[in-house]
Amino acid sequence: MVHENSLHLQGTHMTQQMTIASSRRRISLFSKLPWSVLLIAYMVVVHLANVSMAGPAGYVFIGLCMLVLVVEFVKSGDIGAVVFFVDLVGAVVSLILATVLLCYLWFKLERMPTFFHWIGFAVILGDALVSPMNAFRTALRNLGLGASE
């Protein structure tokens, strides 16, 4: 009887370890994705589908911008060195892609970017500036050095 109970407890412990490990994998995938690229992809898809951003597509885009801001800020809270580097590279790549899209719209198509495009570009720029600062501030707090306000 004692042996069966100990096996049952070991099985429960192993199940808990597997659950914890799988949730870490999900969190690590969540933190490695450059979410601001999603905004660029949305703008490109809307452009290729020839849909006006002045209607529901624009409102969905603003909601997506708010979601990306929150996700990127939360993601930059407690991160390690590798994830910070991936986040920084993702922010730089997003800035480059947003600049290419802006130049393509303005110079190649000779179309003025809409209000929604400017909001998307502002969110991408804000993410590139705020996320590394938040990660650095969090790193100082975690090291016990404190960040000057």
- Helices 36-48 and 81-103 pack at an angle, to 10 degrees, of 30
What integer pLDDT is reported at residue 96 of this predicted model? 93
Give residue 29's pLDDT: 65
The predicted pLDDT at position 119 comes to 93
Residue 5, domain extent = 1-32
> What pLDDT is recorded for position 14?
46
For position 36, what pLDDT does the model report? 87
| Residue 63 lies inside a defined structural domain of this protein | yes
Mean pLDDT in order along the chain per 10 residues (149 residues):
50 47 53 83 92 90 93 76 77 90 88 89 90 78 64
Residues 96 and 46 in one domain: yes
pLDDT of 4? 52
Q: What one-letter code names the amino acid at 52?
A: S
Does 14 reside within a domain? yes
**Distant-in-sequence, close-in-space partners of 84: CB < 8 Å, separation ≥ 6:** 76, 132, 135, 139
CA angle 109, 62, 44 (to 5 degrees): 30
* Domain membership flag for residue 149: no
Largest CA distance in the chain: 80
pLDDT at 16 (0 to 100): 47
Residue 66 and residue 126 in one domain: yes
Q: Do the domain assignments include residue 45?
A: yes
pLDDT in tens, 36-64: 889 999 999 998 999 988 889 999 999 99
* Shared-domain flag, residues 66 and 138: yes
Report d(CA 5, CA 14) in Å as an integer.
14
Find the DSSP H helices in the chain: 2-32, 36-48, 56-75, 81-103, 115-143
What pLDDT is recorded for position 105? Answer: 87
Domain count, the chain: 2
pLDDT of residue 67: 93
